[in-house]
């Protein structure tokens, strides 16, 4: 927050405050004996606010400052609506595990339970078979015993589940825990607001896009290698992108992501690309996010 100047005591601070708000510039005007200091919250708005202050000081009686009151009131109403929706969502997230909420999110819980069951099977003697059956490609060995995969031959022959089922494969308990924690929040928020059918479509589309995105990325970077990857994170970034767009463009639907949550999701996406956390399906993250953003913008 930065101070851009002061208003003389004889000028009404409310008019200028409303004028800035109508322009999308949030400010605070303090009352002091020698004037009215003006503070701007967003650093990007400082120069604009300074120009507007100079214009206001030069012509405070301009009718446009009176007409800004209506637009400012509308902006305040939107802010109150967003705050109300955010607070409601915060209460809902804190109440995720109550019995009524469980009945309202069957798909979210099903996805979590399937992922947990698959992880348990991965730890058994059948683990390699389970992973091979759910991966986008099937594992094969040539005559020399070298491992390779059959590309998308299995899918082309009718094994269409492979386009989706890699989302249920997880490599380690922490991988599973963080993905399921995110699914419990994002999935519940969408399913309770938009219904089970809509969440199902979102999951299927983002799973398809993120899995194929990761496959083709690996095919380009490591042609001929076994395309082993898995996890729910491509779908989660898709749901994240969908909710992000709803927050920006359709807040009246009540699906609001806090700005800090948006920042964390983007920062984590970038950190994963650095390689600091080992082998991560970054292409699945990026393509899943892109699919979710598109679906959110399309007002699906």
pLDDT in tens, the chain (300 residues): 788 888 888 887 888 888 888 888 888 888 887 788 898 988 888 898 899 888 888 888 888 777 777 777 777 777 776 666 666 655 555 555 454 466 788 999 999 999 999 999 999 998 888 998 999 987 766 667 666 667 888 889 899 999 999 999 999 999 999 999 999 999 999 999 899 999 999 999 999 999 999 999 988 887 766 678 899 999 999 999 999 999 888 887 888 888 899 999 999 999 988 877 777 889 999 999 999 999 999 978
Q: How is residue 216 written in tokens? A: 């083709």
CA dist., res. 282 & res. 295, Å (int): 20
> Cα–Cα distances in Å, from 190 out to 167, 176, 253, 257?
18, 21, 10, 11
**Tell me, what's the pLDDT at 100?**
44
Residues 89 and 101: beta-carbon distance below 8 Å: no
Residue 65: predicted pLDDT: 76
Contact 180, 232 (CB under 8 A): yes
The separation between the first and the last C-alpha atoms of the chain, rounded to the nearest angstrom, is 37
Map residue 12 onto helix, strand or coil: coil
Q: What is the helix (H) or strand (E) element at residue 216, kind and residue range?
A: helix 196-221
* CA–CA gap between residue 242 and residue 297 (Å, rounded): 8
Structural domains of the chain sorted by starting position, each given as residue range(s) with its CATH number in brackets = 2-81 (3.30.70.2350), 95-297 (1.20.1540.10)
Tell me how far the alpha carbon of residue 186 is from its chain's centroid.
Answer: 9
| pTM assigned to the model | 0.67
Is 269 exposed, middle or buried, given 0-12, 13-18 or 19+ CB atoms closer than 10 A? middle
Q: Are 238 and 208 in contact (CB under 8 A)?
A: no
Sequence-distant (6+) residues with CB within 8 A of 117 are: none
- Per the CB < 8 A criterion, the answer to whether 204 and 283 are in contact is no
> DSSP 3-state helix, strand, coil percentages of the chain (rounded to 5)?
65, 5, 25
Strand 36-40, strand 27-29: pairing: antiparallel
Separation of CA 218 from chain center:
24
Please state, in angstroms and rounded to a whole number, the distance separating the CA atoms of residues 207 and 43.
38
Give the pLDDT confidence score for residue 34 in this predicted structure. Answer: 79
Surface-to-core class of residue 203, CB atoms within 10 Å of its CB (0-12 exposed, 13-18 middle, 19+ buried):
buried
Rounded alpha-carbon distances, angstroms, from residue 128 to 122, 123, 154: 7, 9, 17
């Amino acid at each position: 927050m930065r101070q851009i100047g002061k208003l003389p005591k004889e000028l009404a601070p409310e008019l200028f405050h409303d004028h800035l708000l109508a322009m999308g510039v949030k400010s605070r005007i303090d009352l002091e004996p020698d004037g009215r200091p003006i503070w701007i919250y967003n650093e990007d708005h400082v120069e604009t606010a300074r120009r507007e202050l100079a214009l206001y000081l030069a012509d405070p009686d301009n009718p446009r400052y009176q007409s800004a009151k209506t637009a400012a009131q509308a902006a305040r109403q939107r802010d109150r609506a967003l705050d109300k929706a955010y607070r409601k969502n915060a209460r809902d997230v804190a109440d995720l595990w109550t019995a009524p909420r469980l009945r309202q999110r069957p798909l979210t819980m099903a996805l979590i339970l399937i992922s947990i069951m698959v992880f348990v099977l991965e730890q058994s003697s059948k683990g390699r078979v389970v992973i091979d059956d759910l991966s986008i490609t099937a594992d094969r060995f040539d005559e020399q015993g070298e491992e390779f995969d059959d590309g998308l031959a299995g899918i082309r022959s009718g094994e269409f589940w492979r386009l989706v089922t890699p989302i249920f494969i997880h490599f380690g308990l922490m991988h599973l825990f963080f993905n399921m924690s995110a699914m419990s929040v994002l999935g519940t928020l969408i399913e309770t607001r938009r219904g089970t059918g809509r969440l199902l479509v979102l999951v299927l589309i983002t799973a398809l896009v993120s899995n194929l995105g990761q496959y083709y990325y690996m095919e380009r970077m490591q042609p001929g290698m076994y395309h082993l990857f898995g996890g729910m994170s491509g779908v989660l970034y898709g749901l994240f992108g969908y909710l992000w767009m709803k927050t920006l463009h359709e807040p009246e639907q009540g699906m609001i992501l806090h700005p800090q949550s948006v920042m964390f999701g983007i920062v984590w996406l970038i950190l994963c690309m650095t390689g600091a956390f080992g082998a991560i399906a970054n292409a699945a993250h990026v393509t899943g996010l892109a699919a979710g953003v598109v679906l959110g913008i399309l007002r699906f």
